[in-house]
Structure 1
Amino acid sequence: MQYRSEVEAADALKSAYQEIRAEISKVIVGQDEVIKFVLISIFSNGHCLLVGVPGLAKTLLVQTVAQVLDLDFKRIQFTPDLMPSDIIGSEILGEDRNFKFIKGPVFSNIILADEINRTPPKTQAALLEAMQEKAVTAAGVTHALSKPFFVLATQNPIEQEGTYPLPEAQLDRFMFNVTLGYPSFKEELEVVKNTTGATTASVNKKLNAEQISYFQQLVRNIPVSDNVLEYAVKLVGKTRPNGEFATPQIKRLLNWGAGPRASQFLILGAKCHAVLNGKYSPDIEDVRAVAKPILSHRIVRSYHAEADGLSADDIIEQLF
């Protein structure tokens, strides 16, 4: 696909985003913020962690996104007995007496890691290399994954019995940590109307893998001014209790802050957010727009913050 200029390509991305949102809204009612962050993470070549109680259409959302974007989709149901080979694949002895690698479900464009905290850390770690390197190593051989590659994981925030909290290294692989809320009365009324009748909504394909890869590169090519870069890096620096930018209040409220990957994701997310809103370069408002879901799972609250009833988002609001 060719555009005469990056400005024209940016306009095409904004237009495609609006069309994608319109198609998804045929199936998913409400959840506008969630859909926005899922699509930003895809166009930024990142991954997304969804936290919400059962029944909020998390699985339906990712299935719908895969259909609209014309991408291969695989769902992995994480359970305590799941093994790494169930995700990445394994070698078997073929009829010709030679070992051959049988690819697992991770070899797809969009992976739904359903209830990712239900499986032990050994199996959770099977996704680490795939999420960071976009590749899988088995028996000493590295296999490249399909492009684009996107992991959308879900967690149930209420039921903690029989779960294994995600380690910090795993959490840090996710660009966004998005919390889903209950729909409003009007939204739930529309959901019930749409899902209890004889007809079901269908969606049209709007982009393909090649176009998505092009737009991912376009997002990386968007210029950023020095003051926006400095703001993003300083914002992340403020989360580090022992850092030079931490205030006395932050030192009291946080035990641990975000790492450099947060700064990278802030800039990538701000670039994509800017383009989707008709701008050709991000400003500080774009950084702020994506900051909470990027930073919330990268900071560790202190006892004082929990005693004061302050959430991660409350603390990030103070950073602004």
Structure 2
Amino acid sequence: MKGIYMKKLFICVLLVIFFGNTVSANVGFGPAEMYVTNNPDTHIIGNATLINGDDVGKYGVFQLMMPFSDKDTFQISNSEIMHARVLCNDCGKSMQRKDVSEYNHERLEGYCPVCQSDNLVFYDVLPRDELQMLSVIPSGGFHLKKIDDYTWVTEEKISPHGYCNINILYNSVDSYLPSYLGEHWEFHLRGKTKEGDGNDFITGGLDLRVLLSFKFPLDIELCSDVVKGEEFTVNIRVTDEKNSFYNELKKPVTVEFNGETKRTDSEGKVSFMMPESRFDYNYTVHVLESDLYLSENYVVSHGIQMFEKDFFGFFSFFQNIYVIISLCVIGVLSCIIILYIRKNYVWE
């Protein structure tokens, strides 16, 4: 009897191992890694595909992984820190922090194990506040429902050997803090499939590593009139998605116009020559994306005067304050008028 029992136990172990590998092999989720930046226009920072490799239809599950060892204090686990991505700007080597030679956690310093360069980019764990700004939406014929703070499930089953595409969203509209300029973060998104439509405990799956570089938008301000055959100047400033502030550049940026490329000066300004032409054409001033700033375009043509942009730019900057002050003034004047009428008007 003992021999029969051991034989059955051995067969069960083999079945578990076999089907466990089969389940993992029948799920595809990728790409495995992506490098992205915040996107003020659409907030879509990337897309991914979940593949159902089984012979039966299954629901797709997408889950943002929590990098915290303590959900009450949100203490980041040491394993997450040491496995965070590091890039060498000189030789392009991609590694983890644990692979960096002479790694110093406090100063984020070390040397590339390949070329010995100290020109490294250290990705950090995404801050807790920014984790709240992440979400996923379907890209195609599927619908997603949120079943937990960081978990989404398809409402329809993915057909056998079919796939589901999603977009990864990062709503950065309120995230433009001075300390975030030039930050590099990473987070993990897990994808898997399941047969049931219940909110059962989700295990397994494949992870997608998203490496996010946080960059600030730019504003292009016209500093002189645009006239054919004459030089005009633009001023490049740092702003946010709501244009609620304008700051000077921390580093110069590269600007292109009509085939010519220049760098901004210490004041963030750059000048170009407007081409001579019989007809009026539009030309684009294009600021290239850099390690700190997103790209930006501004269209100019003959006859555009600097006050046209400055005037509207002024009111776009002060529009919220302007409305508030106007309402306050109207309210105060209304109270004064009412009090004056009550005091001086003789009611019959």
TM-score bracket relative to the smaller structure:
under 0.3
Structure having the higher Rg: 2
Q: Name the structure where helix makes up a greater proportion of residues.
A: 1
Q: Name the structure where strand makes up a greater proportion of residues.
A: 2
